Amino acid sequence: DVKVTQSSRYLVKRTGEKVFLECVQDMDHENMFWYRQDPGLGLRLIYFSYDVKMKEKGDIPEGYSVSREKKERFSLILESASTNQTSMYLCASSRGTGGRLNTEAFFGQGTRLTVV
């Protein structure tokens, strides 16, 4: 059974803390993604990676950074957490699209982060 695993389901952090959200996939996928999900806004892409040590900014990268040292692991880092980063964070992975439009993404269970 394919799996994307996020390290925490729920997290509460204080303003100004450095926060690490971890994501691991066991499907040998090239691509990994971090999304933020807020009510009424759908999913917004923060960062993605198409290979080890490679990263690309998504639509809302400000206040975030990422790390991909190994193919199976993609970390999202909040350098100095703020209350407006309270949200649900979803990690996903997929094969390289290789010209295929129908490549689906597989998601983790999400991390609900509250910054107080």
**Segment contacting another protein (CB under 8 A): 19-27, 44-52, 65-73, 77-85?**
44-52
Q: Does the footprint of another protein cover residue 44 (CB under 8 A)?
A: yes
Which of 8, 22, 58, 86 touches another protein by CB under 8 A?
Answer: 58
Q: Does the footprint of another protein cover residue 66 (CB under 8 A)?
A: no
Q: Does the footprint of another protein cover residue 88 (CB under 8 A)?
A: yes
Distance CA 66, CA 34 (A): 9
